[in-house]
Amino acid sequence: MRAHNIVVDGLEQGVLDLVHTRNVLFHLSGRQTALGRMVSALKPGGVLLVEEPDFSSRVADPRRGNAACSLFLKALRVASEAVGTDISYGRRLYADVCALGMIDVEAEGRARMGRGVTPDAEFWRLSYTQVRDRILGTGQFSPEEFDTFIALFDDPDFIWMGAVLMAVSGRRPLA
Ligand SMILES: C[S@@+](CC[C@H](N)C(=O)[O-])C[C@H]1O[C@@H](n2cnc3c(N)ncnc32)[C@H](O)[C@@H]1O
C-alpha cells in the first residue's frame, strides 16, 4: 500500500495490467489529469475499469410525499455545490475514456434502491452531517430544514433510487 495523490503525484508508465477505481474522479477538479495518468500507467493491452456515479437517477419514491422528494433533491444539489463534487460526471466518463485513445470501450450503469434505517441510510446521514456547516454556509438551507432532511434517513418509509454507478471499461491499444 502507498499514499498517492493521483492529481499531483506521477505514476509509473506502462507497468500495470489493470487499473480500477470507483467513486474517485467525481470528487476531483483535476479528473482529466487523473484519468490520463491511469491510462498511461497501463501496459499496452492493459485494462481500465472506472466506475463513477451520475446522480440524475437519485430521486425519492413519491409515496413519502412531495415535500420529502423536493427536500431530497435540493439537498443533493446544494451539497454538491457546497463540497464541489460533479454529480453528473457518470454520463461524461464514456467519452472521456474514448478520448484517451482506449479501444473496446464499453459502458454500463446500475442503480441501487435505498431505504431509511439501513446501513446505506446511515452512510448518507453521516456524510451529509459531516458537511452540515458547508451546506448551511450556502445560505440555501436553514438549520431546521437540514434537520428535517436528515431525519428522512431515520424513517423506514423513506425510500429512494440511488445514483447510477456508471462502469466504463476499455483496453490500451497494443503499440
Ligand atoms: C467516496 S470514496 C470511494 C472509496 C471506494 N473507492 C469506494 O468506492 O467505496 C473516495 C476515495 O477517493 C480517494 N481520493 C480522493 N482524492 C484523491 C486523490 N487526489 N488521489 C487519490 N485518491 C483520492 C479517497 O481517498 C477515497 O478513498
Is 70's C-beta closer than 6 angstroms to any atom of ligand 1? no
Residue nearest to atom 15 of ligand 1 (CA): 24
Is 22's C-beta closer than 6 angstroms to any atom of ligand 1? yes
Is 6's C-beta closer than 6 angstroms to any atom of ligand 1? yes
The pLDDT value given to residue 1: 84
Cα of 63 vs centre of ligand 1, distance in Å, is: 34
User: What is the homologous superfamily of the domain 16-171 according to CATH?
Assistant: Vaccinia Virus protein VP39 (3.40.50.150)
- Ligand 1 atom closest to the Cα of residue 5 is 20
Q: Are 11 and 37 in contact (CB under 8 A)?
A: yes
pTM for this structure?
Answer: 0.94
The pLDDT value given to residue 2: 85
Is 3's C-beta closer than 6 angstroms to any atom of ligand 1? no
Neighbours of 37 (CB within 10 A): 19
Is 20's C-beta closer than 6 angstroms to any atom of ligand 1? no
Is 83's C-beta closer than 6 angstroms to any atom of ligand 1? no
The pLDDT value given to residue 93: 98
47-74 per-residue burial string, b: 16 or more CB within 10 A, e: under 16: bbbbbbbbbebbebbeebeeebbebbee
CA distance 132 to 144: 12
pLDDT one digit per residue (tens) for the chain, 175 residues:
889 999 898 899 999 999 999 999 999 998 999 999 999 999 999 999 999 999 999 999 999 999 999 999 999 999 999 999 999 999 999 999 999 999 999 999 999 999 999 999 999 999 999 999 999 999 999 999 999 999 999 999 999 999 999 999 999 999 7
Cα of 52 vs centre of ligand 1, distance in Å, is: 11
Domain range summary for the chain, segments of one domain joined by +: 16-171
The pLDDT value given to residue 114: 98
Q: Are 52 and 93 in contact (CB under 8 A)?
A: yes
